[in-house]
């Protein structure tokens, strides 16, 4: 029996799934440490882990429903709140039709098991096609490529970093983000191990990031030029006849089409646009092909940009044509114990893409959702089908979506807004009702999504550490109550544990005895081994072949001809983002220990650019884009590429009438008051945060 005062669980804050050892007494958390016995995370944690204690204890966190009145926020009883919400939503539906209710689901949806499994039925019960989520501000191009090439949006290749000899990281900063679409706890040591065993890690990023500084080689790459770089790499592969489909030779379509396409992209042709010399591109391609096991990994910076779809496709193509797809040390696929693909995936299913379009800009649906860059205009543009009510679930879109200001204005004019959220923040302050679920250490946890995106097959269940308080409700209780009132279908399983038990029973490892009881008996988690080659069996394309050259991608390449690197007089610089280890998107800035210290919401600018503007370190600058303008302190640094500037996202807590005492004192500004909802990857609809044209000017002190 484990010590009664120690609780083991998985940290649900980022994608790394670190095991935690929590010491507690009664209902107080005494310490949070890394769980050395967790076979996957091996004791690793980051400074955010103790944030779980801060969230648990946060006096600003909401625990019961509140309703906005003329005299401020008023407490409601749960049942009355459910009735009231349903009545108001139905009133909007009756007056304006079902499509007048919109939904936005934010990032923590995927980090909460109860929300993940019970949220969708509530969303369906609203009968609206106006569904949005953080997906189209993040990883939509990955899903798009997975669907087109492998037949399922969740068939996402994971870099097998524990076994590779050569890794190219494009647009990811895992030493800070702790890895994304690559669940790899203790990622720093895992990456360093590549060099230690004689391999190499190359980082391509417009900023010499924390990761770049610790790896073997870094090259600046001009924002949004990555697709050109990748085509040039592929060009060199064919030029030298190095192409090799490995074990997928008989299960791959489209190699010739790729060869024809890449013929136009010699390294010499893209050198100026990308900022990498032809010599370096040729050398990188040669090293990549000569390495026994190599993998190219492209993440956020090559997803949230104008060519996100092309980038994720070409990353997969490069891995495939060098024999590194579905191969140890290359880009591999998980076989999770709770396997959404095995349960719901169907061979040859028509992609869920472009089945409907957004009303104002006619942007295509993907996976049942419309691009979030179109959300504000759907609220703000009058006419038939205009959004009159919004439901936000674990999201803070005012700070997270391009042109957040535009959304902020829209939210003010809605007939009704419901937020299912734990804080009264920049977004939820616009709601009429906030329903706060339990979270973090109060809930049972299973990573349905991140086990499916991990570098090893593992499985782990965490029971709640503490009983919820009488006044609190679990997320699934909230979703079920609302689903029922909106006339929707309830899941047969009554709680997340039952769902998990069913899911495990339907999975591959059930045969070898993996069930909920076994998981409960293994509080540190169970290692199910390294990723295994699984194609063509796991492919869900109609002919069970990898589709290297889907028409949608080939056709989209024409946009690359328009790619320009030139400065425009009005907006000569390009804006990109960055993350910080002690920050988690927009919502952990109310934990003092995570925000204390120097101001991190600053503009990074190269000294040469600063000199031209007449800016000195730590001075204030005015930054303007097509959509807005703001003032921010500058930090001069040669870690940023000349011509490029960087601001982190998730700040801007100065907005009035929130309940975030600490965050308000460390407010910062929101980069998304500058990012442009008009900039999207037109193929997938993903927001293009990277490379926003901006102007930086000196401000008189
Ligand atoms: N410029 C720029 N913009 C970006 C990005 C960028 O790099 N640059 N990154 C993008 C990315 S990758 C993402 S994922 C999005 C994130 O966008 P969002 O998901 O909209 O934003 P978060 O900051 O994650 O907000 C999470 C919300 O969930 C609430 N919350 C936390 N835990 C729980 C819970 O257990 N239950 C419920 N119901 N609510 C909870 C928080 O209070 C907060 O309101 O931002 C995107 N925006
Ligand atoms: N500490 C911390 N961890 C987090 C989060 C957090 O907010 N804080 N957020 C979580 C979330 S929601 C996500 S999605 C993941 C994201 O995790 P990552 O994918 O690792 O994302 P970032 O750390 O934002 O790194 C993106 C990199 O892309 C670079 N970049 C920008 N534009 C371009 C471009 O055009 N081309 C290339 N090649 N590079 C470019 C940026 O300089 C940056 O270094 O992190 C997760 N983990
Ligand atoms: S790296 Fe992510 S999962 Fe691990 S402790 Fe930090 S926030 Fe939690
Ligand atoms: Mo994200």
What is the residue-wise DSSP string for 223-237?
TT-HHHHHHHHHHHH
- Which residues is 632 bridged to in the sheet? 621
Number of H helices, E strands in the chain: 23, 30
Question: Domains in the chain: how many in total?
Answer: 4
Task: Name the closest ligand to CA 106.
Answer: 1
| Domain membership flag for residue 207 | yes
Q: How far is the CA of 176 from the centre of ligand 3 (A)?
A: 10
| Domain membership flag for residue 508 | no
Q: Is the CB of 55 under 6 A from ligand 3?
A: no
Q: Is the CB of 178 under 6 A from ligand 3?
A: yes
Q: Are 508 and 337 in contact (CB under 8 A)?
A: yes
Q: How far is the CA of 104 from the centre of ligand 1 (A)?
A: 11
Domain boundary, last residue among 559, 590, 615: 559
- Is 207 found in the same domain as 170? yes
Q: How far is the CA of 236 from the centre of ligand 4 (A)?
A: 33
| pLDDT on residue 569 | 84
Q: Is the CB of 488 under 6 A from ligand 1?
A: no
| Domain membership flag for residue 136 | no
Q: How far is the CA of 108 from the centre of ligand 4 (A)?
A: 9
Q: Per residue in 584-603, pLDDT tens?
A: 999 999 999 999 999 999 99
- Is 283 found in the same domain as 387? no
Domain range enclosing 325: 145-337+537-559
Q: How far is the CA of 220 from the centre of ligand 2 (A)?
A: 15
| Domain membership flag for residue 505 | no
Tell me the mean pLDDT in the region 117-137: 98
In this structure, what token pair is assigned to residue 143? 């899903």
Task: Name the closest ligand to CA 579.
Answer: 2
Count of Cβ atoms closer than 10 Å to residue 548 Cβ: 23
Q: Strands, E, within 121-245: which ranges?
A: 131-133, 158-159, 166-170, 200-204, 217-219
- Is 570 found in the same domain as 690? yes
Tell me the mean pLDDT in the region 263-291: 98
Nearest to 494 by CA among 476, 472, 517, 469: 476
- Is 65 found in the same domain as 44? no
| Domain membership flag for residue 504 | no
Q: Which helix (H) or strand (E) holds 512?
A: none
Q: Is the CB of 425 under 6 A from ligand 1?
A: yes
| pLDDT on residue 408 | 98
- Is 541 found in the same domain as 478? no
Q: Whose CA is nearest to atom 35 of ligand 2?
A: 223
Q: Whose CA is nearest to atom 1 of ligand 3?
A: 46
pLDDT tier, 3 (very low <50, low <70, confident <90, very high otherwise): low
- Is 469 found in the same domain as 391? yes
Q: Per residue in 665-689, pLDDT tens?
A: 999 999 999 999 999 999 999 999 9
Encode burial over 499-515: b for 16+ CB neighbours within 10 A, e otherwise: bbbbbbeebebeeeebb
Q: How far is the CA of 173 from the centre of ligand 2 (A)?
A: 6
Q: Which helix (H) or strand (E) holds 620?
A: strand 620-624
Q: Is pLDDT above 80 for 351?
A: no
Percent of the chain that is helix, strand, coil (3-state, to 5): 35, 20, 45
Q: Is the CB of 134 under 6 A from ligand 1?
A: yes
| Domain membership flag for residue 350 | no
Percent of the chain with pLDDT over 90: 96
- Is 297 found in the same domain as 391? no
| Domain membership flag for residue 137 | no
In this structure, what token pair is assigned to residue 347? 């061979």
Give the CATH number for residue 381. 3.40.50.740
Tell me the mean pLDDT in the region 133-141: 98
């Amino acid at each position: 029996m484990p010590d009664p005062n120690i609780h083991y669980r998985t940290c649900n804050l980022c994608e790394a799934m670190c095991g935690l050892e929590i010491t507690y007494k009664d209902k107080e958390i005494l310490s949070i440490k890394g769980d050395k016995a967790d076979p996957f995370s091996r004791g690793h944690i980051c400074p955010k882990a103790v944030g779980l204690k801060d969230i648990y204890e946060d006096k600003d966190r909401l625990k019961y429903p509140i309703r906005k009145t003329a005299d401020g926020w008023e407490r409601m009883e749960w049942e009355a709140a459910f009735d009231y919400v349903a009545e108001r939503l139905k009133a909007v539906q009756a007056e304006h039709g079902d499509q007048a209710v919109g939904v936005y689901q934010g990032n923590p949806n995927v980090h909460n098991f109860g929300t993940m499994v019970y949220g969708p039925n509530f969303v369906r019960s609203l009968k609206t096609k106006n569904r949005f989520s953080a997906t189209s501000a993040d990883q939509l191009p990955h899903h798009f490529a997975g669907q087109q090439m492998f037949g399922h949006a969740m068939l996402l290749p994971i870099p097998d970093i524990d076994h590779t000899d050569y890794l190219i990281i494009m647009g990811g900063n895992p030493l800070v983000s702790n890895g994304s679409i690559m669940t790899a706890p203790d990622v720093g040591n895992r990456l360093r191990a590549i060099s230690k065993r004689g391999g190499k890690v190359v980082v391509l990023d417009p900023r010499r990031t924390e990761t770049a500084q610790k790896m073997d080689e870094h090259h600046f790459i001009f924002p949004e030029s990555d697709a050109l770089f990748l085509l040039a790499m592929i060009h060199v592969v064919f030029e030298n006849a190095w192409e090799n489909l490995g074990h997928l030779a008989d299960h791959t379509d489209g190699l010739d089409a790729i060869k024809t396409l890449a013929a136009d992209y010699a390294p010499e042709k893209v050198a100026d646009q990308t900022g990498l010399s032809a010599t370096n591109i040729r050398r990188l391609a040669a090293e990549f092909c000569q390495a026994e096991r190599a993998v190219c990994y492209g993440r956020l910076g090559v997803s949230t940009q104008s060519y996100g779809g092309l980038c994720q496709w070409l990353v997969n193509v490069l891995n495939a044509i060098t024999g590194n797809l579905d191969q140890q040390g290359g880009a591999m696929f998980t076989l999770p114990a709770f396997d959404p693909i095995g349960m719901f995936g169907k061979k040859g299913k028509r992609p869920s893409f472009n089945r409907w379009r957004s009303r104002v800009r006619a942007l295509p649906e993907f996976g049942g959702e419309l691009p979030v860059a179109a959300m504000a205009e759907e609220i703000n543009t009058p006419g038939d089908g205009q959004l009159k009510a919004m439901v936000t679930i674990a999201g803070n879109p005012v700070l997270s979506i391009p042109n957040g200001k535009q959304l902020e204005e829209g939210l003010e004019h809605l007939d009704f807004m419901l937020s299912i959220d734990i804080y009264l923040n920049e977004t939820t302050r616009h709601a009429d009702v906030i329903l706060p679920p339990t979270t973090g250490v109060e809930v049972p946890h299973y990573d349905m999504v991140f086990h499916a995106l991990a570098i090893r097959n593992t499985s782990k269940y965490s029971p709640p550490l503490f009983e919820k308080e009488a006044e609190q409700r679990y997320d699934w209780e909230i979703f079920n109550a609302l689903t029922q009132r909106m006339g929707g279908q309830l899941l047969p399983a009554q709680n997340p544990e039952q769902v998990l038990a069913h899911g495990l029973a339907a999975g591959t490892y059930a045969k070898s005895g993996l069930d909920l009881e076994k998981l409960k008996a293994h509080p540190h988690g169970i290692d199910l081994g390294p990723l295994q080659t699984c194609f063509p069996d796991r492919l869900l394309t109609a002919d069970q072949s990898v589709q290297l050259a889907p028409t949608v991608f080939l056709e989209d390449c024409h946009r690359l001809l328009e790619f320009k690197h030139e400065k425009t007089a009005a907006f000569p610089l390009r804006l990109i983002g960055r993350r910080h280890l002690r920050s988690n998107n927009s919502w952990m800035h109310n934990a003092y220990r995570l925000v204390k210290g120097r101001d991190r919401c600053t503009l990074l600018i190269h000294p040469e650019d600063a000199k031209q503007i007449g800016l000195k370190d730590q001075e204030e600058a005015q930054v303007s884009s097509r959509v807005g303008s703001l003032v921010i302190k500058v930090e001069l640094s040669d870690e940023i590429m000349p011509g490029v500037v960087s601001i982190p996202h998730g700040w801007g807590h100065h907005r009035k009438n929130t309940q975030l005492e600490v965050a308000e004192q460390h407010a910062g500004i929101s980069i998304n008051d500058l990012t442009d909802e008009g900039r999207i990857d037109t193929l997938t609809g993903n927001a293009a945060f990277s490379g926003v044209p901006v102007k930086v000017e000196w401000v008189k002190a």
